[in-house]
Structure 1
Amino acid sequence: MEIINGERLVLGTCYYPEHWDESLWRDDLRRMLENGIEVIRIAEFAWSKIERYEGVFNYDFFDRFLDVAADMGMKVIFCTPTATPPAWLTEKYPEVLNANMDGVLYRHGGRRHYNYNSPKYQELTRIIVEKSASHYAKHPAIIGWQIDNELNCEKNEFYSESDTIAFRKFLMEKYGSIDALNEAWGTNFWNQTYNSFEEVYVPRTTLSNNTNPHEVLDYTRFVSDSACRFAKMQSDIIRKYIKPGDFITTNGLFGNLDNQRMTNESLDFITYDSYPNFAYCLDAYNKDNFLKDRMWSRNLSEVRAVSKNFGIMEQQSGANGWNTGMAAPTPKPGQMTLWTMQSVAHGADYVSYFRWRTCTYGTEIYWHGILDYSGRDNRRLAEVKSVHEKFQKLSEIAGSKYEAKVGFLKDYDNAWDSQLDVWHEKVEWKSQLGIFEAAQRTHTPMDYIYLRDDVTAEDLKPYSVLFYPHPVLISEERKVVLEEYVKNGGCLVLGCRSGYKDMYGRCVMDKLPGKFAEMSGVDIPEYTLVSPDNKDIVIDWDGTKLEAAVFNDQLVAVGEHAEVLGRYENCYYAGEPGLIKNTYGEGTVYYFGAAFSEKTAEVFLEKLGVKDPHNAKLEIPETCELAVRKKDDTEYCFVLNYKDAEAEIHVKEEMTDLYTGEKVSGTVVLKPFEVRVLK
């Protein structure tokens, strides 16, 4: 049974047989199946159930559970347990532990406290994965494997001695000589020159934490490389034993990790852990953010950038809460369904709820699952059953792809640089949120596309407009791909600070915007961070005032095809160009000299003719999200009401409601948190 097979939508849940008396297993599985749950994930934190003592392996516990699962007809995703090494391991081999920047070890008692580069941890990981896969993979209940759990979650920085040794090897392979490294890192600055690789360490605590930014950029690449190699080590072992048709995945989407590389090298598809309820317990999502839980559509779009169809390994089903300060309310009636359909709308064909029962002990005692502590039937279980019934009616959607003509280009080099460069970080997040919020408010479906070395202009061709707000770092190879896309008729929108660094993170001495100069028709003789006391700077575009947020490039049009569209106002450089359009081949490049606020991004969507592309069919209030999945010539329109109030939509062309099979047109009322799927 393939859970992402293009044939139907499948429900699952996370189950922890080690947390519950064996007498509960069979009844739990029966109740799951009765309510539409067909797949469970197990064992990601259960190393000691297989290897309680070093070198002593006992398979009886999971043998018994898997036999019960097979007898009941429940399918199982089995996990490698490497996210939580057992106490005997960390006590005997403290070198496997991760450390903070000062070298202080993270001790046993949490999770993900190991480091990827410890030779001893790699050895013990190979053993436990080999033993688990060779014994369990043939079991008929198992349909797939999850590697570890949430790679780079909790901590995505590693400062152990093993990491320093591995970092040196990474750098030797990349640069070949210490002189080449010195050149790339600009170590002449502050007399940081190295005479050998043995003098190089992972970043360490320095006065005022003034680390070398080029070293840190390479270090972040190293962290990603380490996680990818760790995943591949496990995947290579599992591949030797899995049955034909079984799959390998891992869950989550975390920082300092090239998820595309990891997926391509090690996985059949990626799965995501979706917790929209974080919006109601994290201040970062509450302040000045009308989207709240709808922000998780941005995260789901990131997952879709890895795989058009994907799975959810952990979907919100109850209140969030650890015993360490994290707390969020129980989902209101209908929100669990809303968030499930949010995942499906963005491309998920498999959704697994976290978790079946709420644990009665441990750190996650307040992180509720479908059932509460007593395990009795409740409102959330009834909602799961209703989701299953909806899934059956939506089965034809499986395998369809999210449809978007607007794309947002990203790449890991710039994402990681924006963690180091305060100017880059300020413009990056202003534009990331601004463009996404504008697309959401205006019902303009949008994809994220990672500009990797294997991406071609042909891959970009389906998008009418591509935003690449702040490609600070740009390589010659990526520049060529973008030029070809534009020359063939594409529309590329750039923002301030584009092209001012090379791939080592060093500022270029070319006239800015560096490698973008020719295609953009722009020269940038001067630039400035916007002063806190001068926040009313605007760029006038044919009478429309665009907020010139965060940072301002003062532009000059270069070449016969470059046209000034907008000029600055309310600043000492008033009258200078701030927006230039350049015709390049059959296409166009727009260079906007600032970051993109939500209102500014909306103007671009409108003027470039891509705003609200489905308006001829549907008129939807901005409090609702529109997501469209398409298979062949059939479009499936998801309308999601995130508000605890009714919402009216207007169906302009007759469509079919997939839940009821009825034809609908005219005014349709959505109940609080309701989702309609219209064909």
Structure 2
Amino acid sequence: MQNHRWLRTPEGTAPRISFGADYNPDQWPREVWDEDVRLMKVAGVDVVSVAIFSWAKLQPGPDTWDFAWLDELIDLLHADGIGVDLATATASPPPWLTIAHPEVLPVTSDGRVLSQGGRQHWRPTSPVFREHALTLVEKLAERYGSHPGVVAWHVNNELGCHNAYDFSDDAARAFRAWLEARYGSIAGLNHAWGTAFWSQAYGAFDEILPPRLAASYPNPTQQLDFLRFSSDALIDHLVAEREVLNRISPDIPVTTNFMVVGGTNHADYAKMAGEIDFVSNDHYVVEGRDELAFSAALTSGFARHRPWFLMEHSTSAVNWQPVNRPKRPGELIRDSLTHVAHGADAVCYFQWRQSAAGAEKFHSAMVPHGGENTRVFRDVATLGGILQDLSDVTGSDRAPADVAIVFDWESWRAAELDSHPSEKLEYRREALAWWTALMNAGIRVDVVPVGTPLAGYALVIAPVLYSVPTALKESLEAYVTGGGHLVTTYFSGIADENDHIWLGGYPGALRELLGIRVEEFRPLWEGEEVALSNGTTGSLWSEPVDVVSDDVEVLVRYENEGELDVAVTRRPVGSGSAAYVSTRLGVEGIGALLSTLLDGAGVVSELPEAIRGSVELVSRQGANGRFDFLINRTDDEVALGEGDYLYGGPTLSARGVAVRRA
């Protein structure tokens, strides 16, 4: 995201928070389109994403093109003031392409070729697929690049959602080229991969394969590099499409939809964000509203706190969980406004009209199977009105907080590889636990990708920071010596960028800064807990921690745990400090520790004590001032007090949201 460019708006149109959905009119008879537009105007819709899965309709055969339906649709929407986020339609190739060219189909690690019949059945490194995809992109750009109704380009869809890891011969060739560019020589690769172990030394790049199914554990750095390469292959495809669009229609901004949600980590979104004009995200509730807020804050971090586009979320139930429950009253509006609070200037759903056929026919939509006279559509229309009332918020940035959680894609991937002390470790779960505990304390928090400047934060939490290259080690040391307060946890500072251990004892790269030393880990069995001196317990992990610096303060100890003694430490460094947590505390245990950490960093809640924990506070600031979003995390009413409310207040209903000028 070199320069933030937002949706194009017609001249004379006032800025607003955009509202809409994925729109798939090619699933419906033509007579339905006029009804769709009527209902869009009722709901206050001003943008829809079109043609995401329309390749087979746009190109029915190798030399056959059909744009007449799309011409009519874009003209219809534009005439009614509804902008089009036009997809490049390359997400799923049509059957004729995979039948004629089966070599574009992905291959699994055990050599199985995936078939067409679902979606995203293509190799990111296939030259044949790339040629056909870019031909389609060029045709679309030439035809619609000057259409005033097209407000943005939408590259592909959820890049890598089902096809990120391809082990084909195309992937092998591209992987070798990527490795040669990264390491320069085969000697450099052998050193980085530690190939002296298990007689794995390579004599030439041509000998290297992706980490296909092997007799035992594949080389860990090979696995890590393949994850990096696979992400870069997706970014390379994004850039290839973007370059065609920019060449033909340079005035239209380009985006692609991320999937910052749950355990999805196949693409490095911090890196991908640098290749688009504005960040977009798809989010579906998988672990409750705190995960939703955490993901929204992380998306804001990728967007550098500039406005971003909520491309997809659900009005109610999804179709892909074992049990798909509908949202409760109030959740449709609360979930959407939570994303707005964290910087979304466009709120869209999958999808506009609920499908009558296909794999997602039970996935909720803005217009359900029951039509206009339904609770979901009434809530949709209500939300459309609320978003128009919040027009003053449009264009504002997410206001920085005093506390940040550092989120590191490299550590997430590397910490969860095989052959580690515990296969139960979950990087994102630890980060989310700190987020939830801070929400419970009424603290406003940023979630930022590693590499974000930290100097403005009073307190920085870097959980399970497994991968610490020298540059990151030095930047964390500079943050602390400059007066910042750092908290890190078990299994941090362990390895460098090549997954080589920092020797001398754990936590490796951070050992001197923390003033402690650990000789070996003591991971815990499933269900095992260790008692702590502050009345809480630890799980998953423990360590015999030796204090090696006289100025280290022991904040929490293990109780009656044999060789375990020191559990949580803090070392003052100048006017800053560095703290270490050697076990998984969970939300309750973090909560018991937080007041000490917050007091030490001089951080206090901005919320009245009576509503801390019940309400999440998020702020945005821009040309029209500062706006506080107050989000009810409970099923009870909460009294907020008087204020200049744009929406809601002074009492928050169950699962409600209020927005007021600060």
**Is the 2:531–2:560 Cα contact (8 Å) retained in structure 1?**
yes
1:88 is aligned to 96
**Could you give the per-residue CA deviations for residues 547-601 of structure 1, whole angstroms, max 9, x where no partner exists?**
3332223223334533333332221114x33333222233111122223421232
Matched with 2:385 is 389
Return the alpha-carbon distance in structure 2 between the equivalents of residues 264 and 121 of structure 1.
24
2:313 corresponds to: 315
Which of the residues 270, 288, 295 maps onto 1:299? 295
- Give the superposition deviation at 1:251: 4.1
- Cα distance in 2 between the residues matched to 1:632 and 1:612: 27
The residue that corresponds to 1:676 in the other structure is 658
Secondary structure of 1:30's aligned partner = helix
Q: Which residue of 1 aligns with 2:593?
A: 604
Instruction: Report the equivalent of 1:437.
Output: 436
Contact 1:305/1:450 (8 A) holds in 2: yes
- Matched with 1:657 is 645
Q: Would you say the 8 A contact 2:368–2:377 is kept in 1?
A: no
Q: Deviations over 1:168-196 (max 9, x none)?
A: 11111112222322222122222222222
The Cα offsets for residues 462-507 of structure 1, whole Å up to 9 and x where unpaired, read as 2111111222221111111111111111000121222221211122
Is residue 2:361 matched to residue 1:365? yes
Selected match of 1:627 from 604, 614, 618: 618
SS at match of 2:45: coil
Once structures 1 and 2 are overlaid, which stretch shifts more, 241-250 or 403-412? 241-250
After superposition, where does 1:44-443 map in structure 2 within 5 Å? 44-207=52-215, 209-242=216-249, 244=251, 246-253=253-260, 254-265=264-275, 267-276=276-285, 279=286, 285=287, 292-307=288-303, 308=305, 309-321=307-319, 326-373=322-369, 375-398=371-394, 399-421=396-418, 422-423=420-421, 426=425, 428-443=427-442
Pair 1:70–1:247, CA change in 2 (3 A):
same
Does the 8 A contact of 2:372 with 2:378 survive in 1? no
Letter in 2 for 1:316: S
Alignment partner of 1:464 out of 437, 451, 458? 458
1:484-633 alignment, distance < 5 Å: 484-531=478-525, 535-538=529-532, 540=533, 544-574=534-564, 576-609=565-598, 613-614=604-605, 617=608, 619-620=610-611, 622-631=613-622
Distance in 2 of aligned mates of 1:73 and 1:585: 59
Distance 1:332 1:634 in 2: 33
Q: Letter of the aligned partner of 1:671 in structure 2?
A: S
With over 3 angstroms needed to count, the CA separation of the structure-2 counterparts of 1:311 and 1:469, relative to structure 1, is same
Name the TM-score, length of structure 2 as normaliser. 0.91
Shift of 1:508: 3.0
Q: Distance in 1 between matches of 2:323 and 2:521?
A: 44
Q: In 2, distance between residues paired with 1:441 and 1:51?
A: 53
Give the conservation status (yes or no) of the 8 Å contact 1:146–1:248: yes
CA 1:532–1:313: 2 relative to 1, 3 Å: closer
> Does the 8 A contact of 2:49 with 2:85 survive in 1?
yes
Superposed CA RMSD in Å reads 2.5
Between stretches 147-156 and 227-236, larger displacement belongs to 147-156
Report the count of equivalent residues.
643
Pair 366,531 (structure 1): closer, same or farther in 2 beyond 3 Å: closer
Q: CA deviation at 1:366?
A: 0.8
Question: 1:293-337 CA distances to partner (integer Å, 9 max, x unpaired)?
Answer: 442112212211111221111121132125xx7541333332211
8 Å CA contact 2:527, 2:539 repeated in 1: no
Q: Deviations over 1:353-407 (max 9, x none)?
A: 2211111111111112121236444322222221122122222222141442111
Tell me the SS of whatever aligns to 1:262. Answer: helix
Tell me the distance in 1 between the aligned counterparts of 2:490 and 2:163: 31
- Distance in 2 separating the partners of 1:343 and 1:545: 36
Contact 1:202-1:219 within 8 A present in 2 as well = yes
Q: 1:33 aligns with which of 35, 41, 60?
A: 41
Q: Is the alpha carbon distance of 1:144 and 1:534 closer, same or farther for their aligned partners in structure 2, counting shifts above 3 Å?
A: closer
SS state at 1:331 partner: coil
Structure 2 residue 632 is matched with structure 1 residue 636: no
Supply the distance in 2 between the matched residues of 1:251 and 1:496 (Cα, whole angstroms).
29
| Amino acid in the other structure paired with 1:273 | D
Q: Distance in 2 between matches of 1:195 and 1:108?
A: 38
Q: 1:87-109 CA deviation, whole Å, 9 max, x = no partner?
A: 11111111111121111111111
CA contact (8 A) 1:116 1:226 kept: yes
Shift in Å at residue 127 of structure 1? 1.0
Give me the TM-score of the superposition, normalised by structure 1. 0.89
Q: Measured at CA, do residues 675 and 306 of structure 1 come closer, stay the same or move farther in structure 2, by a change above 3 Å?
A: same
- 2:416/2:425 contact within 8 Å kept: no
* Cα deviation, residue 657, structure 1: 2.1
Q: CA deviation at 1:656?
A: 2.0
Structure 1 residues 470 and 19: alpha-carbon distance in aligned structure 2, compared to 1, 3 A threshold: same
Task: Give the equivalent residue in structure 2 for 1:42.
Answer: 50
* Aligned-partner Cα distance in 2 for 1:73–1:46: 23
CA contact (8 A) 1:3 1:10 kept: no
> Hey, what's the Cα distance between the residues in 2 that align with 1:427 and 1:372?
37
TM-aligned CA distance change 1:274 to 1:171, over 3 Å: same
Instruction: Name the aligned partner's letter for residue 536 of structure 1.
Output: V
Given that 2:444 and 2:605 are in contact with CA atoms closer than 8 Å, whether structure 1 keeps it comes out as no
Q: CA deviation at 1:342?
A: 1.5
Identity %: 26
Structure-1 residue corresponding to 2:447? 448
* Residues 164 and 234, structure 2, Cα contact 8 Å, conserved in 1: no
Task: Please give the per-residue CA displacement for 1:265-301, whole angstroms capped at 9, x wherever unaligned.
Answer: 2x1111111222xx4xxxxx4xxxxxx2442112212
Residues 111 and 493 of structure 1, relative CA distance in 2, 3 Å threshold: same
Taking the aligned partners of 1:445 and 1:146, their CA distance within structure 2 comes to 32
